[in-house]
Structures are given as structure tokens and as C-alpha cells.
Chain A
Amino acid sequence: MEIADVREKWTNRINVVTIGATREQGGTRARTVSVGGETTLPFLTFEGEMPNRPVIAGLVVDVVPEDWPAALKSAIGDVINSPTEWAQRCVEEHKVDLISLKLLGPDPSGRNLSAAQAAETVRAVLEAVDVPLIIWGCGDGEKDNEVLMECSQAARGENCLIGSATEGNYRTLAALGKADGHKLIAEAPVDINIAKQVNILLQDAGFDLNNVVMCQVTAALGYGFDYVYTIFERVRIAGLKGDKHMALPQIANVGWEVWKVKEAIADEDVLPGWGRLEERGPRWEAVTAAGYLQAGADILVLAHPEAIAVTAQAIDELMAG
């Protein structure tokens, strides 16, 4: 009996976005990182190409989040209070492809550090490591406009990936991205229609979608992961079918979200029968990451060294076919 050929044939290619600039390109990075370029759904290389492997960005935060459990902090080690040393350890020991610097310090409801202080951290991290850099604001719209503007200038020419552009601030982000030569993260709140809207707005503001990576507010396993998974997948299918506003690489901010949920931060005394947090936390992060890999994530931001190691191995195995 003849078996029907069920291979899908897609008509479009996902954009390739390159992050980082070497000396020849006007930056100081030792190498650049390219993501995207797929002509098929994740890892279905019998249907199409996946020219760039998914990459891991090591999460580094300028100010350690208060609710992070001791199990995570001790796994990261004593470097956790120094963004530069933390970034170096991520690169040298955990072999991450790039660094994802979260600037929590300027948050007005927290330390309320100045934009200049944030920019100083960006400069120091760029000096400490030679991999490409992702820079995220604190999440406060007004403060981020100021902080990201200053950080963008501090990193001028380094071709960083800066996040995140939303319906509220896309004009500012488009302007700084163009002025200082950076890529942008376009973010939507678990909503595919707004995701497309932000991309259209960025394009209308004159920012080339070839320089944009899409982000949905990333849900941890157990907290709407399935919603975000389907959005990743629908975005990718729309992009492969030819929707130019959706044919963009995607980033999943896994580490930042996972270490907020009770399954990853509450120990056995709070959750009897759930097993030791030292094991459960990194597993929660790694399993969430594995899900997003299958959904179509091109960049995974990860915090726990064990989650980084397990995910790197999973990517190796999946890319080996």
C-alpha cells in the first residue's frame, strides 16, 4: 500500500535577524548571533530548512529580584550581585550564545536607579563579555523610555536586541533602534492580534521588520503556557504561509517568568509531596523551555545553570535529527 506524502509545503521564509556587531561592523563583539530563516515548523527538517539553531541567552539582572528562591541564587553563585561577573560566568562556564540583561534597578517601585546608572551597567557588561547583548527595560513605560534611550546610546553600534516595543511606546523604540543601530523586541500581552498590530505600527514608524524579534509575555508552565504556545505556533504558521507581518523570529523570556511561580519558588514545607525545590525549580524552567522550543522559539532566555545545560543538550539532540 502506498503511504500518502503528508509533508507540508510552505511558501514563505521567516526573517533572519542578526544580533551583535564585530569590530569590522562597528561594534566590539567577538561574534554575532543569527536567528530565524526557517522554511518549516520547528525541527521538521524533512519539510524545509532550519538554517539557524535556536539559541540560549543567559539571564542577568542588575538587581536580584526579591522573590527569587535561595535555590536559584545559590545555583547562580556569588556572582549574582555583580552583573559583569554573572555575565562572564554565563559565557565562560554555561556557554550561552548571548546575554539577556534585565534592567530591574530603575523600576520606580523598587530601587528607582537612574537611567545613567542603568547605562553604566550596560557599558560594563558589554566590556565584560564579548557575546551579543539583549537589553530589557524594567517594565515601567515612562521610566523605560528614559532608561532605554540612554542604554541604547551607551551601546551604540553594538547591534543589541532591545526590548520591548509595545502599542504604547513603539515610536520611541523605533527611533532609538534606528538612531543607534539596534534590533527591537516587539511585545504583546498574550494576544496574537496585538502582536501583529505592534509589528504594523513599528513598520509604519519606519522600522524595518527584518530587524524585529517578536515576544509574547511568556507564560510559565501551569500559568497559561498553553495559550502562549498556540500563539507562538499560529504566528509561525501565518509567517510560513506568507504573512509578512508575522514572519519574524520569536523570543521566549522563560527564566524571567518561571522564577515567579510557586512551583519554582516554594519549597517542600509549603508544597508537601512536590519534591525538593533544588531539583524542581530548574526542571520547571527546562520543561517550559522545551515546550517553547517546540512552539517555535528562536531565542530562549534562561536563568538556572542546570536549565541552561539541559536545554542546550535538547537543542543539540533536536538539531542532530
Chain B
Amino acid sequence: MIFIGERINTGFADIKRAVLEKDPQPVQQWAVKQANAGATYLDVNLGAVSSSPDDMCWMIENVQQVVDTPICIDSNKPRIIAEAIGVCKRKPLVNSTTAVEKNLSAILPLVAEHGASVIGVVMDEGGAPKDADKRVEIAGMILAAAIEYGIEPENVFLDPIVMPLKFMQAQAGHILEAVRQFTLFSDPPPHIVCGLSNIANGTTHKKLINRTFLAMAIAAGMDSAICDVMDTGLVNSALTAELVMNREIYADSYAKKPAAL
């Protein structure tokens, strides 16, 4: 399971303040905490706080000063990605491109040039798809484009776009069906990822919904999530789902102990 730690994001007040005041401490603290909790990648998201590539690079460099976990560059702006990708010490995951042609042609060459990986969000000019078939169609376009630019399927992460359960209840089933079909694209298949927290948007039982949906998505073939890696219950639920699907070998200590906060 590939866990992408979501916490270094200016959507959180402490990170927003850190970026505005150039205080490295909150960024570095969350880098260490998430790395210790077992994050495979650390998502770094500048959000709307700034549009300056320098600020993104500042965040990444501060993370890299304290951990060697690879970076997930969370930006859809080619200008920011181009700068950020250059300061990454290890091969980063670019988050993300859509199937919109000008996105593909701006972002995929950068990914290919640096041997990086990329998240392809199944969205096109028409916006977010409403059913499984459309998701599969768009995902196929992104994967084909990536291969054309010389990016191997194992460096492509397809994101079926998770919709809030509370407001679009029928979508969850379509998403799981799309995930099942993504696994048939290639052998070995591309990675399948989601921004998990969206499923529980606006709900009361966020942790329970996140955990249950992730286990079901793993059963369908998902192998990666941008999520709260500090939620040991969520992480252990995902690890258990992988055992149930016989994707990992069982060992008594497979589950993580609660991370020290």
C-alpha cells in the first residue's frame, strides 16, 4: 500500500501560517511525524496561499532537510511543477494532470524528463465524470498519453475522483466499479489512488467512512491513497484489506502501533 501523507497543505491553518511567515517548523514537524508513521510519499500543497514556485520549493526543501521520504508535488500549475521537480532529491510524484490536452502536453513531458511518477485525475473538458464508463474512458486516455510520452504504466497513478458520500451517494459504487476496470489496463497495472478525505466531506463519522471506503476500494484494486497517515486505525484497516486480498504476506506484527504524536 502506498500511503501519501496529506498534512503538509496550506488548507491547514498551521501550514498556511508557516508559509506566510516562512517558519519551517510546522512543515518539518509534520514531515517527521508522517514519515515516522510510514508515509511512502509526503504531499506538499501550496494551495491558494501563493502562486510563487519559490514558496513551493521552500516547502519541499524544508521537508527534505529532515526526512528522505519522496515528495508528492501537489499542484496543477506547470510553472510550479517545473521548478519543484528540480529541487526534489528523490523521484517525486506529480499531483496531478487531468485528461485536458493542454494539461497533458504541459505536465507529462516534465514527468518523463525527470523519471517521475504522475497522478492522472479522470477529468476532461466536460469536468468530472458521472459514471464508471466515462471514468474508464478518460483514465484510458491519460494512460495512453503517458505511455506516448515514455512514462511506464507503473509510474502512473489513476485517480477515479472520489465524490462526497453524503451529497452524491450513488457515485461511490461507480467509483469502485471504475477502479476494478482500471486494474485491467496493463500488466502490471497502473497504480490507483484517491484523495480519500473527499468521501467523508460534510459527514459526522469521517474516520469511519474513510476507513470503510478505503478497505472497499482496496478490495476493488486501489493500492494508494492521499490520506491522514496519522490515523492508525485507517492505516491498519488498509493493511488488513491488503492481507484479505492476498496482496501481502501475513505476519503477526503487520499492523502499525499508534504513532506517537
Contacts and interface: CB of A to CB of B under 8 A. Distances in A.
B234 to A, nearest CB: 20
A192 B253 contact: no
A193 B247 CA distance: 14
B250 A193 contact: yes
B253 A197 contact: yes
Contact of A192 (B187, B247, B249, B254): B249
B253 A246 contact: no
Contact of B249 (A196, A201, A204): A196
Contacts of B254: 196, 200
B251 interface: yes
A287 interface: no
Interface in B204-261: 247-254
Contacts of B187: 9
B252 A193 contact: yes
A62 B252 CA distance: 36
B236 to A, nearest CB: 14
A85 interface: no
A243 B248 contact: yes
A238 B249 contact: yes
B127 interface: no
Interface in A19-65: none
Chain A at the B interface: mostly helix, strand, loop or mixed?
helix
A200 B253 contact: yes
Contacts of B248: 238, 243
Chain B at the A interface: mostly helix, strand, loop or mixed?
loop
Nearest to A204: B253
Contacts of B247: 241
B154 interface: yes
Interface string A184-215: 00000000111011011100100000000000
A11 B154 contact: yes
B188 interface: yes
Contacts, number: 34
A246 B154 contact: no
A199 B69 CA distance: 21
Given A9-B187, A9-B188, A11-B188, A197 B154 contact: no
Given A9-B187, A9-B188, A11-B188, A196 B154 contact: no
Nearest to B2: A242
B82 to A, nearest CB: 27
A241 B247 CA distance: 9
A199 B249 CA distance: 12
Interface in B155-171: none
A245 B250 CA distance: 11
Nearest to B155: A11
Contact of A201 (B154, B188, B250, B253): B253
A193 B249 contact: yes
A123 interface: no
Contacts of A194: 251
Contacts of A243: 248-249
Nearest to B154: A11
Interface string A261-298: 00000000000000000000000000000000000000
B188 A196 contact: no
A226 B98 CA distance: 50
A193 B251 contact: yes
A200 B188 contact: no
Given A193-B249, A197-B253, A200-B254, 5 more contacts: A10-B188, A11-B154, A192-B249, A194-B251, A197-B252
Interface of A: 9-11, 192-194, 196-197, 199-201, 204, 234, 238, 241, 243, 245-246
Interface of B: 154, 187-188, 247-254
27 contacts: A9-B154, A9-B187, A9-B188, A10-B188, A11-B188, A192-B249, A193-B249, A193-B250, A193-B251, A196-B249, A196-B250, A196-B251, A197-B251, A197-B252, A197-B253, A199-B251, A200-B251, A200-B254, A201-B253, A234-B249, A238-B248, A238-B249, A243-B248, A243-B249, A245-B249, A245-B251, A246-B249
The 5 A-B pairs of least Cβ separation, nearest first, read A196-B251, A197-B251, A200-B253, A193-B250, A197-B252
